Amino acid sequence: MKSRLRELRASRRWSQAELAEMLGVSRQTVNAIETEKYDPSLPLAFKMARLFQAPIEEIFQDDSH
């Protein structure tokens, strides 16, 4: 799944560690999502959407088809 997480994080000048703390996850998880090695669960995706005040579809794009 394609992710704009890095772009959104950078626009707010947050580090991965800062974003991880806000989301209640580890920095490695943030990195794995940004590098598209890991797709977050729905609750975590909703948390990100609330944090960035954007719909989930603006943060993640399904590229499976």
- Pick the binder of another protein from 1, 6, 21, 56 (CB under 8 A): 21
CB nearer to another protein: give 44 or 51.
Answer: 44
Q: Contact region for another protein (CB under 8 A) — 2-10, 32-40, 46-54, 55-63?
A: 32-40
Q: Is 26 an interacting residue with respect to another protein (CB under 8 A)?
A: yes
How far from 17 is each of 22, 31, 46, 62, 65, CA to CA, in Å? 9, 9, 19, 26, 32
Instruction: Say if CB 20 and CB 29 are below 8 A apart.
Output: yes
Residues near another protein, by CB under 8 A: 21, 24-26, 28-29, 31-32, 37-38, 40-41, 44
